[in-house]
Structure 1
């Protein structure tokens, strides 16, 4: 027990703050949200270590505070804040520029030949191919059905 006291007694505010920042850095790289709660618990323990009375601020009190805070925050994160994990699903076209074009109306700017041509969508020109092999004339309104790579797959607008 005496060896443990000598090893852990110098735990200070700075140790917990450093642990919290390290865990936060790892969380930013991994993105699981689990280490976020443990990093917050380490930050809270740093504050606890700085302001707790001398009897509670010994290493045993700090470890107990950290264990309770980490467990509580992890459970809270898995239940109350569980929606944070699903936010990416709310934006299915995030970082998928071509997927955002599906359903948009465009204008044929170069007559199609063999089902391949150019379409203007907003202020950008795109290579396009028709889904049915037709050859719409220049100035025809079309709708994007799908994309393949950077090529729009279009159909005539109704």
Structure 2
């Protein structure tokens, strides 16, 4: 038992640094942002303990510094940085590559027959089908109106 007490007391910067890392690891698993602030307070206490003026870095001073820093940072985190806790809405076209083509202008590279042909959009050629059954000629501009599978639904571009 005495060996354990000798290991813990006197507290050093290493104790606070280990506490900060343990709290940070738990925070990464939970994702609540509450332990993040306490972890930062423990890290700040490690710096305080390493560089404080002789006499002010006793274990009581370290605990007082940690308590004030932890409470202050948690309050700051809950008020000023409250937006960090909000979930960010997913971008509407994230992981939906085909939906990014909607509304874009493409060029017909193979004349349409029976409402089907090929268009170039950017640097990629796509199979395409007209939504109105028209048959645009090669070189004509069309607007992407929708997608189906790996093909585009297009309509003639108005001049």
User: TM-score, with normalisation over the residues of structure 1?
Assistant: 0.63
Q: Which residue of 1 aligns with 2:12?
A: 12
Q: Which residue of 1 aligns with 2:133?
A: 134
Aligned residues: 156
Q: Which residue of 2 aligns with 1:120?
A: 120
Relative to structure 1, the CA distance from residue 41 to residue 148 in structure 2 (aligned partners, 3 Å threshold; closer, same or farther) is farther
Query: Does the aligned pair in 1 maintain the 2:114–2:135 contact within 8 Å?
Result: no
Q: Any stretches of 5+ residues in structure 2 without a counterpart?
A: none
CA distance in 1, matches of 2:40, 2:14: 14
Q: Which residue of 1 aligns with 2:108?
A: 108
Cα RMSD (Å): 4.0
Deviation digits for residues 31-75 of structure 1, max 9, x if unmatched?
654444333222212111112345443344333433332332233
Q: Which residue of 1 aligns with 2:69?
A: 69
User: TM-score, with normalisation over the residues of structure 2?
Assistant: 0.63
How far did residue 126 of structure 1 move? 3.4
Q: Which residue of 2 aligns with 1:41?
A: 41
Q: Any stretches of 5+ residues in structure 1 without a counterpart?
A: none
Q: Which residue of 1 aligns with 2:81?
A: 81
How far did residue 76 of structure 1 move? 2.0
Q: State the SS of the aligned residue for 2:44.
A: helix
Relative to structure 1, the CA distance from residue 86 to residue 60 in structure 2 (aligned partners, 3 Å threshold; closer, same or farther) is same
Q: Which has the larger radius of gyration?
A: 2
